[in-house]
Amino acid sequence: MSGLLAEAPVEFESDEPRSDADPIYRIAGTPADRMAAFQLVHRKYSQAELIESNPFGVRVTPYHLLPTTNVFIAIEQKRTVCTVTLIGDGPLGLPLESTYEDVVAERRARGLYVGEVSCLAFEQMPINKFLLVFMQLTRLMAQHARSYGMDQFLIAVHPQHSRFYQRFMGFEQVGPLKNYANVRDAPAVACCLDFSAIDRNRPKCYSAFFGTRLPEEELVSRPMNDDECIFFEPLVQAIGCGPLPQCQPG
């Protein structure tokens, strides 16, 4: 996961009433939702030189076509301001395996269901606002993951940002510093969030993440349907991000 994160004090709960300008958080469920997320990731990753830009202006990979993948978005005044993708282990495995194959294999051997957190991107905003948006979006992602029986999150994160994930969110480093092929060999470390461990240890984020249960209808998985796969497949092929899964027309 790539992003410009820094540690800073922030209040995650507010007694102020919600306004129409407050962000809306949801799992992307339409081509328009997904396109906005893919465009945001492409723009921000290109600017950071983590990927090569492409003429389509989107960052969409074969993993996005899988039934085990969900895209999470924060929308403010009809504009997508933050997105993150959760890729559940499935037919293509996980992107992390390109660099940390042993980390993923060890968890599979234990029968754990793991997911990789990927494609974090956000519009420029004050740090306190970003942390609030990030917190609410990842809260949705974490509750969604647990409702579907996921045991752990895996991420490949820049070493400068790993301390935030470890101290605030309860991640542990599980892989050494390497060059991560999926973002042009940028330096990364592999980290893991084990849900059973944070249930015991209760990191700083725990009550904000799990203190209040979100409505069940907000947690329902919304992977691409067959028509969306058919729509996005040519973009994946043109960009050349890897092998395609088999999407069967419905």
Report pLDDT digits (tens) over 167-214: 889 999 999 999 988 888 889 999 999 999 999 999 988 999 999 999
pLDDT at 168: 87
Q: Mean per-residue pLDDT for 25-45?
A: 97
Q: Pull the structure tokens for residue 40.
A: 């945001």
Q: Mean per-residue pLDDT for 115-144?
A: 96
- For the chain, the average pLDDT equals 88
User: What is the rounded distance in angstroms from the CA atom of residue 59 to the CA atom of residue 32?
Assistant: 14
pLDDT at 9: 27
Say if strands 152-157 and 79-88 run parallel, antiparallel, or are unpaired.
unpaired
Task: Work out the pLDDT band at 243, boundaries 50, 70, 90.
Answer: low
Q: What are the two backbone dihedrals, phi and then psi, of residue 17, each rounded to the nearest 5 degrees?
A: -65, 150
Distance between alpha carbon 7 and the CA centroid of its chain, in Å? 19
Q: Pull the structure tokens for residue 172.
A: 């542990």
User: What is the rounded distance in angstroms from the CA atom of residue 59 to the CA atom of residue 52?
Assistant: 10
CB 134 within 8 A of CB 207: no
CATH topology of domain 24-210: Aminopeptidase (3.40.630)
4-18, 27-41, 233-247: least confidently modelled range: 4-18
pLDDT at 16: 39
Percent of the chain with pLDDT over 70: 88
pLDDT tens digit string along 61-94?
999 999 999 999 999 999 999 999 999 999 899 9
- Dihedral sign for Cα 233, 74, 191, 217, please: negative
- The full set of domain ranges for the chain reads 24-210
Q: Mean per-residue pLDDT for 23-37?
A: 97
pLDDT at 14: 33
pLDDT surpasses 50 at 11: no
Q: Mean per-residue pLDDT for 223-242?
A: 89
Q: Which residues contact 141 (CB under 8 A, 6 or more apart)?
A: 70, 72, 84, 86, 117
Closest CA to 164 of 5, 13, 12: 5
pLDDT at 129: 94
Task: Work out the pLDDT band at 2, boundaries 50, 70, 90.
Answer: very low
pLDDT surpasses 60 at 18: no
pLDDT at 244: 55
